[in-house]
A and B are shown apart, each in its own frame.
Chain A
């Protein structure tokens, strides 16, 4: 639970921030030090994806593929067939965007032990604009059988996710953002593939008119926490369930969380179609049909802008989330 994080950082100007891709850089290095079968591949983006740290320390275990993402996916498959644990990194829009079929056939169908890192996912990519802002990657990856899909919340969780991925046997996809985002977890916080975490529990206060369950993935965790805290002002209780693993879904954790709230709201830096919101809706519609409001990008492309501007424009910042929550509660009455 991250109640301390909220208390310490609400209204703070000194919020510690770091980009999740830094967690990939450090996690990959740690994984490589732990296991000499770990190799890294990159498509001409070593510094941006932070692969360069591994490449500098283990040059013989790093392959520079050049700008050829389809080749990278299948080369990794071949390396995995020889017993290596390949991590392949590029921007999510290109890998797995461009290489989706190769990922499906040569990695997932082959049951290859390849870890796919999709950097620059989400809106907060910023000025590069729509072509570089992957908003569909969760959707296209979760529908592939055999694929694990993870969106870690912050730099520390990313590092732990990368380590967990290196030990997991099977294909894994990890999506990372570009901008520095608030550091919520601690270096020794728990992370296990397939587990959800109750990040914030508003408890049972009789003054609450309604209780909202926020379900978030990726770096929106901090915004979800601040929004939940903010709702107290309006006598609305907000709890937050953090789902860093989108597939496999922690059905138990989700079911338990959903039972105690009047309304559920999912949050993702992704299209509302096919991502976290869809996963949650699909599962609950069969087990415990509930009204679910999906916060995310509503079926449109991103655009150029500063990360903060874009997050605000798309309603993904704290203000935007609070506004959506208030409206949703209003609609309930």
Chain B
């Protein structure tokens, strides 16, 4: 784990904000897509791609790279935005999201775009794939230092296959596997606590032989510490429950499950009228970026 200086933290915060702005632009341009999760995972994505992972945007197939496997594929706008800002493809291409002929498919398609480790969308399969990758790596090199980061949603934990994969990871003691759960407390039909309560979640994961940490999903220093610790755990796979605020960044959209699957312009209107949602989102993000003293 690398200690991040205050300057580095500020730069990452600024970058995360830029990525959030891209997410808003993309979703509005597409006219459909998932706002809440894409916004609230911007900090995790920024930290991983700009501060932690070993990767090369000019060489997406670089064998030695760390892998990020996005299991909850519907938040792909933030994945695409992060990859673009990191240099995998032009930022202008972000506005082709979900359009006919685009490499930025509505849910990620592995063979369409460099930098995507797997196709996802149907929930519950990404973790199994991350486990498979980690297993394959161990066959080739038991002392490998490659890391496999699997990002999942929290609603996604409803899927039985997730627990099948967790069981296998625990059995195989896959210490190069770090699962990061977007614990934003929302899913499509409502809050997770109403649709399918998950607590006590940390205890469940620990019972599956994982090293478990709970962290503020928007605090870069805490996230960095947690990931650093996860990397050093040798006897178990790790999971980080990242407590996030859904749609973080645009406070008028935050903490409302109805922002799960709608783009700005088509979201719930109890706080902001649809015709103003795009403007308001960009304003809020601009204010945040101005508050970061670089």
Known: A68-B167, A105-B125. A77 touches B109 (CB 8 A): no
**In the assembled complex, which residues on chain A have CB atoms less than 8 Å from the CB atom of B118?**
77-78, 81, 106, 110
Which listed segment binds A: B126-134, B200-208, B252-260?
B126-134
A: contact size bracket: 20 to 34
Nearest residue (CB) in B for A67 is B164
A106 touches B129 (CB 8 A): yes
CA of A66 to CA of B131, assembled, Å: 14
Known: A60-B139, A110-B119. A81 touches B164 (CB 8 A): no
CB proximity of A64 to chain B, nearest CB, Å: 9
CB of B225 closer than 8 Å to a CB of A = no
B167 touches A79 (CB 8 A): no
B125 touches A102 (CB 8 A): yes
Q: Which of B120, B140, B168 contacts A71 (CB 8 A)?
A: B168
A105 touches B111 (CB 8 A): no
A71 touches B119 (CB 8 A): no
CB of A82 closer than 8 Å to a CB of B = yes
B: contact size bracket: 20 to 34
**In the assembled complex, which residues on chain B have CB atoms less than 8 Å from the CB atom of A282?**
none
CA of A73 to CA of B132, assembled, Å: 10
**In the assembled complex, which residues on chain A have CB atoms less than 8 Å from the CB atom of B165?**
71, 74-75
CB proximity of B237 to chain A, nearest CB, Å: 14
Q: Which of A70, A86, A111 contacts B128 (CB 8 A)?
A: A70
- The proximity string for B residues 39-62 relative to A, scoring 1 for CB distances below 8 Å and 0 otherwise, is 000000000000000000000000
**In the assembled complex, which residues on chain B have CB atoms less than 8 Å from the CB atom of A80?**
132
Nearest residue (CB) in B for A62 is B139
Nearest residue (CB) in B for A41 is B132
CB of B154 closer than 8 Å to a CB of A = no
CB-CB contacts below 8 Å: B210-262 with A: none
CA of A299 to CA of B126, assembled, Å: 36
CB of B161 closer than 8 Å to a CB of A = yes
CA of A41 to CA of B126, assembled, Å: 18
CB of B135 closer than 8 Å to a CB of A = yes
Nearest residue (CB) in B for A68 is B164
Known: A68-B167, A111-B110. A75 touches B139 (CB 8 A): no
Q: Which of B122, B132, B140 contacts A81 (CB 8 A)?
A: B132
CB of B268 closer than 8 Å to a CB of A = no
CA of A86 to CA of B128, assembled, Å: 14
CA of A198 to CA of B109, assembled, Å: 41
CB proximity of B105 to chain A, nearest CB, Å: 10
A39 touches B139 (CB 8 A): yes
CA of A74 to CA of B161, assembled, Å: 9
Among B69, B111, B139, B171, chain A packs the most CB atoms within 10 A around the CB of B139
**In the assembled complex, which residues on chain B have CB atoms less than 8 Å from the CB atom of A76?**
132
CB of B25 closer than 8 Å to a CB of A = no
CB of B66 closer than 8 Å to a CB of A = no
A106 touches B125 (CB 8 A): yes
Known: A83-B136, A102-B161, A105-B122. A75 touches B129 (CB 8 A): yes
**In the assembled complex, which residues on chain A have CB atoms less than 8 Å from the CB atom of B122?**
101-102, 105
A81 touches B133 (CB 8 A): yes
B133 touches A74 (CB 8 A): no
A109 touches B119 (CB 8 A): yes
B164 touches A70 (CB 8 A): yes
CB of B265 closer than 8 Å to a CB of A = no
CB-CB contacts below 8 Å: A204-243 with B: none
Q: Which of A66, A77, A101, A105 contacts B132 (CB 8 A)?
A: A77
CB of B137 closer than 8 Å to a CB of A = yes
CB-CB contacts below 8 Å: A35-52 with B: 39
CA of A14 to CA of B269, assembled, Å: 79
CB of B114 closer than 8 Å to a CB of A = no
Q: Which of B121, B131, B160, B167 contacts A105 (CB 8 A)?
A: B121
CB-CB contacts below 8 Å: A75-96 with B: 75-84, 86
**In the assembled complex, which residues on chain A have CB atoms less than 8 Å from the CB atom of B172?**
63
CA of A1 to CA of B50, assembled, Å: 63
CB proximity of A78 to chain B, nearest CB, Å: 2
CA of A66 to CA of B170, assembled, Å: 13
A71 touches B111 (CB 8 A): no
A71 touches B128 (CB 8 A): yes
Nearest residue (CB) in A for B124 is A70
**In the assembled complex, which residues on chain B have CB atoms less than 8 Å from the CB atom of A71?**
128, 131, 161, 164-165, 168
B137 touches A82 (CB 8 A): yes
- The proximity string for A residues 84-128 relative to B, scoring 1 for CB distances below 8 Å and 0 otherwise, is 101000000000000001100110011100000000000000000
Known: A70-B128, A105-B122. A79 touches B133 (CB 8 A): yes
CB proximity of B239 to chain A, nearest CB, Å: 17
Among B130, B164, B165, B172, chain A packs the most CB atoms within 10 A around the CB of B164
CB proximity of B236 to chain A, nearest CB, Å: 18
CB proximity of B177 to chain A, nearest CB, Å: 11
CA of A106 to CA of B118, assembled, Å: 8
A-B interface, 4 closest residue pairs, ranked by CB to CB distance from nearest: A78-B132, A74-B128, A78-B129, A82-B136
Q: A77-B128, A80-B132, A110-B119 are in contact. List 14 more A-B contacts (CB 8 A).
A: A39-B136, A68-B168, A70-B164, A71-B164, A74-B132, A78-B132, A81-B118, A102-B125, A102-B161, A105-B122, A106-B119, A109-B119, A110-B110, A111-B110
Chain A residues at the B interface, C-beta cutoff of 8 Å: 39, 60-61, 63, 65-66, 68, 70-71, 73-84, 86, 101-102, 105-106, 109-111
Please list 5 pairs of residues, one from A and one from B, whose beta carbons are closer than 8 Å in the complex, sorted by A's number.
A77-B128, A77-B129, A78-B118, A110-B110, A110-B118
